[in-house]
Structure 1
Amino acid sequence: MFDPEKTGRRKALAVHFLTASGAVFAMLALLAAVERHWDEMFLWLVVAFVVDGIDGPLARRYDVKHKAARFDGVLLDLIIDYLTYVFIPAYALYGSGLMDGWSGWLAIILITFASALYFADTRMKTRDNSFHGFPGCWNMAVLVLFAVAPPWWVCLGVVTVLAVAMFLPVKFVHPVRTKRWKGLTLPVAVLWTALAGWAAWHGFEVSGLAVSLLVLASLYLVSAGAVQQVLDRREGVLRRAG
């Protein structure tokens, strides 16, 4: 006999299993990184990124917080995100030679230390479900650096700015949960994911157009929240003046 309650619990538990699969993809990415197969590593990270993008909406839809309360979905997500968003990309930045020597050491220290603090920050989310500060998406930043392959000092500058931005009162949009401009942000995030997968699949030997689109999509995702803040402040000033 069909039992809606049991079915609901099974669906909620399946969402936890989906989230946990990110740990498997993280291990596969790490194994590829150890062998210096950077394109394969990023392909697994892109797969993990896709899983991370869909498990949240599914968790809310199937109410995993109450129907599968044995497992803490938020904690599970943070553990996997630290591996796939922070730890493995930081290793790739150093191990690939894109940043080595003292600059590479400094970069991996900045990334791992700042991200550990950020992931434990109770003020990580804003009222509109955006992020308070750069959300530690080093997988995205490092992938773009691989695609562009700039000089080491440019890489160091990007890493330093983003590490500092994690603790600044600057908003960064969540492509799924931030409602404002979602009609644009979500397609841009999907485009970024497709371009990232394409670049990794081809060993980062892609056309200048693909790289340019990847950079432009990244710049939008990084700056959209700050632009919204500026517009909000401007609207507030106008309301007070009126």
Structure 2
Amino acid sequence: MTSQTKALLVHLFTATGAVLAMLAMLAAVDGKWSLMFLWLVVAFAVDGIDGPLARHYHVKKYAPRIDGVLLDLIIDYLTYVFIPAFALFKSGLLPGWTGWFAIIVITYASAVYFADDRMKTEDNSFHGFPGCWNMLVLVLFAVEPSFWLILILVVAMAVAMFLPLKFIHPARTVRWRLLSLPVAMAWTFFAGWAAWVDFHPESWAHWGLVATSLYLLLAGMVQQVIPPRNRQSQGNAS
């Protein structure tokens, strides 16, 4: 198999996310939230795998006709933003005007953020909340907090998109990656399990979801507060 064929296959693998998005949307339209999230979890796993594959097989060099970054962004907007926002609106977790407010804020702010070519930091983290609404909404379905808390979280995360806050990429942010990557894999497992049991309130997966979500949400900001050891040693040396 040639290098060009391998690179093209990576693009085709990424494109399966669009099919998964459609399957998730069809489930959402029918109000089958658990099935919808199962498809989104599979899409999340594909999104986590295709990046390392693309870098390994040098898709920019061997399959440059297809813009892998653009393809990934299109699918991410569907699976990370559009479908979760729809689910949050139709689920009844946000009654009345709050549901309308949330979907407008989520879709509008995310569209602007996804078009920002400075969303990545020097260490391959994200500059601002990276629009992972699929992760937040899944946790909200599992925990079912009050609608006021949901509304506060939606506003806070939308604002956080445009603040100088760092959010890690579990696979690409080198610092703490030995911990971050297993945590992200654990989140995927807990998310799939919670959806599989139809978000049963006594499922232990909910606690795992909350714990791993808090780490993924806060790790980057903690890194901003605590400088790397090499910087500390440089400071001491100077």
Q: What TM-score results when the alignment is normalised by the length of structure 1?
A: 0.94
CA-to-partner distance for each residue in 1:37-80, whole Å, 9 max, x for gaps?
00000000000000000000000000001100110000000000
1:47 paired with 2:42, answer yes
Residue identity in the other structure for 2:28: A
Deviation at 1:99, TM superposition (A): 1.1
Deviation at 1:19, TM superposition (A): 0.5
- Number of aligned residue pairs: 237
Residue identity in the other structure for 1:196: A
CA distance in 2, matches of 1:233, 1:198: 35
Deviation at 1:240, TM superposition (A): 7.6
Match of 1:182 among 177, 180, 198: 177
Match of 1:131 among 102, 126, 131: 126
C-alpha RMSD over aligned residues: 1.8
**Percentage of matched positions with identical amino acids:** 66
1:239 paired with 2:238, answer no
The aligned residue for residue 217 of structure 1 is 212
1:90 paired with 2:85, answer yes
Moved more, 131-140 or 201-210: 201-210
The aligned residue for residue 64 of structure 2 is 69
Alignment of 1:1-242 (within 5 A): 7-205=2-200, 207=202, 209-232=204-227, 239=235
- Secondary structure of the equivalent of 1:232? coil
CA distance in 2, matches of 1:207, 1:11: 45
Residue identity in the other structure for 1:23: A
Residue identity in the other structure for 2:138: L
CA-to-partner distance for each residue in 1:72-115, whole Å, 9 max, x for gaps?
00000000000000000000001011113111111101100000
CA-to-partner distance for each residue in 1:192-235, whole Å, 9 max, x for gaps?
00000000111111535321121010000000000000012996
Tell me if structure 1 keeps the 8 A contact 2:191–2:205: no
Tell me if structure 2 keeps the 8 A contact 1:199–1:206: no
Residue identity in the other structure for 1:182: R
CA-to-partner distance for each residue in 1:158-200, whole Å, 9 max, x for gaps?
1111111000000000010000000000000000000000001
Residue identity in the other structure for 1:18: F
- Secondary structure of the equivalent of 2:189? helix
Q: What TM-score results when the alignment is normalised by the length of structure 2?
A: 0.95
CA distance in 2, matches of 1:236, 1:102: 50
